Amino acid sequence: MTAIADFAAALLLAPLLPGVINRVKAFFAGRRGQSVFQLYYDLRKLLAKGAVYSSASGFVFRLGPVASLAALLAALAVMPAGGHGSLASFDGDIILFAYLLALSRFVTVLAALDTGSSFEGMGASREVFFSALAEPAFFLSLAVLAKKAGAFSFNLIFLSANPVTGTPLLLVLAALFIVFLAENCRIPFDDPNTHLELTMIHEVMVLDHSGPDFALISYGAALKMWLLGAVVVRLALPFGGGTGGAQSPALFLAGIFALAIATGIVESCMARLRLLKVPALLLSASMLAFAAFMVS
Amino acid sequence: MALFATALLALTISAALSLVFSKKPAWSAFAGAGGNVLAAALGLAALAFAGAKPHLNLPWAVPGGQLHIALDPLSAVFLAPMFVLCACGALYGVSYGGLNRRTGTGFLLYNLLTASMAVVFTARNAMLFLAAWEIMALCSFLLVVTDYENPETRNAGWVYLVATHIGTAFIIALFALAWHKCGSTEFADFPKAFAALPFAAVALLSVTGFGAKAGFFPFHVWLPKAHPAAPSHVSAVMSGIMIKTGIYGIIRMISFCPPPPFWFGGLLASIGIISGVGGVLFALAQRDIKRSLAYSSVENIGIIALGLGMGWMGAASGRTDIAFIGFAGALLHVINHAFFKGLLFFGAGAVYHATGIRDMDRLGGLRRFMPVTALTFLAGSAAIAALPPFNGFISEFLIYSGAFKAVIAGRGAGFGGLAVILGLSLTGGLAAACFTRVFGIIFLGEPRAKLAVEHGEPPLMVGPMVALSALCLFMGLAPQFAARLVTEPALMLSGAPYADLPSRLQPVGLLGCAVVLLSLALWFFRKRLLAGRAVASAPTWGCGYSAPAASMQYTASSFAQPLVDFFGIGTAKKIEEPHGLFPSHAMFRSETPDIAKSRFYRPLFENIEQRMSSLRVIQHGNIHAYILYIAAALVALLVWTLK
Burial class (CB in 10 A: 0-12, 13-18, 19+), B601: middle
Selected for mutation to probe chain A from B366, B446, B516, B541 (highest A CB count within 10 Å) is: B541
Give the dihedral sign, CA B440/B446/B451/B455: positive
pLDDT digits (tens, 9 = 90+) for B221-230: 999 999 989 9
Whole-number average pLDDT of chain B? 92
Residues B296 and B429 in one domain: yes
Residues B26 and B140 in one domain: yes
According to the model, what pLDDT value does residue B299 have? 96
Residues B355 and B440 in one domain: yes
Question: What residues have CB less than 8 Å from A71, skipping those under 6 apart?
Answer: A100, A101, A103, A104, A107, B388, B515
Split at pLDDT 50, 70, 90, the class of B609 is confident
pLDDT digits (tens, 9 = 90+) for B51-106: 666 788 888 888 888 899 999 999 999 999 999 999 999 999 999 988 888 899 99
The verdict on residue B98 lying in a domain is yes
Partnered with residue A222 across adjacent β-strands are none
Q: In one letter, which amino acid is B440? A: G
Tell me the C-alpha distance between A199 and A221, whole Å: 19
According to the model, what pLDDT value does residue B55 have? 83
Residues B378 and B241 in one domain: no
pLDDT digits (tens, 9 = 90+) for A106-140: 999 999 999 988 888 989 999 999 999 999 999 99
Look at A218-227, B189-198, B356-365, B447-456 and tell me which has the smallest mean pLDDT. Answer: B447-456
- Strand runs labelled E in B494-620: 535-538, 572-576, 587-591
> For B517, which residue in chain A has the nearest alpha carbon?
A70
Domain around B519: 262-525
Inter-helix orientation angle A2-13/A249-269, to 10°: 30
The verdict on residue B127 lying in a domain is yes
Contacts of B524 in chain A (CB under 8 A): none
How far A35 CA sits from the closest chain B CA (Å)? Answer: 26
Contact A72, B378 (CB under 8 A): no
Q: Which of A64, A63, A99 is nearest to A78 (CA)?
A: A99
The verdict on residue B20 lying in a domain is yes
Contacts of A139 in chain B (CB under 8 A): 421-422, 424-425
Residues in chain B: 643
Helix or strand holding residue B58 (H, E) = strand B55-59
- What would the mean pLDDT of B258-282 be, rounded to a whole number? 95
According to the model, what pLDDT value does residue A244 have? 44
Split at pLDDT 50, 70, 90, the class of B387 is very high
Contacts of B519 in chain A (CB under 8 A): 63, 66-67, 70
pLDDT at residue A231 is higher than 90: yes
Identify the residue with better confidence: B398 or B594. B398
Contact B457, A68 (CB under 8 A): no
How far A274 CA sits from the closest chain B CA (Å)? Answer: 14
pLDDT digits (tens, 9 = 90+) for B315-335: 999 999 999 999 999 999 999
The verdict on residue B225 lying in a domain is yes
Subunit contact A92:B508, Cβ cutoff 8 A: yes
pLDDT digits (tens, 9 = 90+) for B439-465: 999 999 888 888 777 777 899 999 999
Partnered with residue B612 across adjacent β-strands are none
Q: Percent of chain B beyond pLDDT 90? A: 71
pLDDT digits (tens, 9 = 90+) for B201-222: 999 999 999 999 999 988 999 9
Rounded to two decimals, the ipTM of the complex is: 0.96
pLDDT at residue A89 is higher than 60: yes
| Residue that finishes a domain, picked among B525, B548, B571 | B525
Q: Which of B438, B444, B432 is nearest to B540 (CA)?
A: B444
Residues B266 and B253 in one domain: no
Subunit contact B507:A93, Cβ cutoff 8 A: yes
The verdict on residue B169 lying in a domain is yes
> For A279, which residue in chain B has the nearest alpha carbon?
B566
CA distances from B88 to A42, A128, B99 (A): 50, 33, 17
According to the model, what pLDDT value does residue B203 have? 95
Count structural domains, chain B. 3
DSSP state of B375: H
Helix or strand holding residue B222 (H, E) = none
Look at A258-272, B165-179, B565-579 and tell me which has the smallest mean pLDDT. Answer: B565-579
Contact B283, B432 (CB under 8 A): no
Residues B602 and B480 in one domain: no
Q: Which of A47, A116, A150 sits opposite B408 (nearest CB)?
A: A150
Other C-beta atoms lying within 10 Å of the C-beta of residue B457: 18
DSSP state of B593: -
* Secondary-structure breakdown of chain B: helix, strand, coil percentages, each rounded to the nearest 5: 75, 5, 20
Contacts of B367 in chain A (CB under 8 A): 58-60
Asked if A292 is an interface residue toward chain B (Cβ–Cβ < 8 A), one would say: no
Subunit contact A207:B543, Cβ cutoff 8 A: yes
| Residue that finishes a domain, picked among B468, B496, B525 | B525
What are the phi and psi torsion angles at A158 (to 5°)?
-80, -20
pLDDT at residue A245 is higher than 80: no
According to the model, what pLDDT value does residue B552 have? 83
Split at pLDDT 50, 70, 90, the class of A199 is low
User: Three-class SS of residue B148?
Assistant: coil
Look at B349-353, B376-380, B546-550, B614-618 and tell me which has the smallest mean pLDDT. Answer: B546-550
Q: Percent of chain A beyond pLDDT 90? A: 68
Tell me the C-alpha distance between B143 and B347, whole Å: 19
Contact B410, B341 (CB under 8 A): no
Residues B304 and B252 in one domain: no
According to the model, what pLDDT value does residue B52 have? 63
Contact B108, B18 (CB under 8 A): yes
Selected for mutation to probe chain B from A49, A89, A125 (highest B CB count within 10 Å) is: A125
- What would the mean pLDDT of B505-522 be, rounded to a whole number? 95
The verdict on residue B188 lying in a domain is yes
Residues B13 and B51 in one domain: yes
Asked if A29 is an interface residue toward chain B (Cβ–Cβ < 8 A), one would say: no
Residues B295 and B237 in one domain: no
pLDDT at residue A172 is higher than 80: yes
Give the dihedral sign, CA B160/B138/B117/B195: negative
Residues B450 and B324 in one domain: yes
Contact B104, B30 (CB under 8 A): no
The verdict on residue B286 lying in a domain is yes
Split at pLDDT 50, 70, 90, the class of A85 is confident
pLDDT at residue A178 is higher than 90: yes
Tell me the C-alpha distance between B174 and B196, whole Å: 13
According to the model, what pLDDT value does residue A198 have? 63
Partnered with residue B574 across adjacent β-strands are B589
Split at pLDDT 50, 70, 90, the class of B19 is very high
According to the model, what pLDDT value does residue A247 have? 65
User: Three-class SS of residue B230?
Assistant: coil
According to the model, what pLDDT value does residue A287 have? 95
How far B153 CA sits from the closest chain A CA (Å)? Answer: 33
Other C-beta atoms lying within 10 Å of the C-beta of residue B102: 16
| Residue that finishes a domain, picked among B466, B494, B525 | B525
Pairing assessment for the beta strands B66-70 and B55-59 based on DSSP bridges: antiparallel
Residues B403 and B449 in one domain: yes
Split at pLDDT 50, 70, 90, the class of B188 is very high
Split at pLDDT 50, 70, 90, the class of A78 is very high
DSSP state of B598: I
Residues B158 and B284 in one domain: no
- What would the mean pLDDT of B371-400 be, rounded to a whole number? 96
Tell me the C-alpha distance between B407 and B410, whole Å: 5
pLDDT at residue A283 is higher than 50: yes
Mark B312-330 as b/e (b = at least 16 C-beta within 10 Å): bbbbbbebbbbbbbbbbbb
| DSSP codes joined into one string, chain A | -HHHHHHHHHHHHTTHHHHHHHHHHHHHHT-----TTHHHHHHHHHHTS-EEEETT--HHHHHHHHHHHHHHHHHHHHS--SSS--SS--TTHHHHHHHHHHHHHHHHHHHHHHTT-HHHHHHHHHHHHHHHHHHHHHHHHHHHHHHHHT--SHHHHHT-SS---HHHHHHHHHHHHHHHHHHTT-TTT--TT-SS-TT--HHHHTTT--HHHHHHHHHHHHHHHHHHHHHHHHHHS---STTTS---HHHHHHHHHHHHHHHHHHHHH-PPPPGGGHHHHHHHHHHHHHHHHHH-
Split at pLDDT 50, 70, 90, the class of A23 is very high
Tell me the C-alpha distance between B224 and B170, whole Å: 22
Rounded to an integer, what is the distance from CA B33 to the centroid of its chain?
22
Q: In one letter, which amino acid is A197? A: E
Pairing assessment for the beta strands A51-54 and B535-538 based on DSSP bridges: parallel
Q: Which of B169, B338, B306, B332 is nearest to B241 (CA)?
A: B338
Cis amide linkage into residue B489, ω under 30° from 0: no
Rounded to an integer, what is the distance from CA B332 to the centroid of its chain?
14
Cis amide linkage into residue A80, ω under 30° from 0: no
Subunit contact A103:B445, Cβ cutoff 8 A: no
The verdict on residue B575 lying in a domain is no
CA distances from B227 to A257, B277, B288, B401, B510 (A): 54, 20, 11, 33, 37
- What would the mean pLDDT of B501-516 be, rounded to a whole number? 92
How far A268 CA sits from the closest chain B CA (Å)? Answer: 27
According to the model, what pLDDT value does residue B309 have? 96
pLDDT at residue B499 is higher than 70: no
According to the model, what pLDDT value does residue A177 have? 96
Q: CB-hemisphere CA count at 13 Å for A243?
A: 0
User: Three-class SS of residue B59?
Assistant: strand
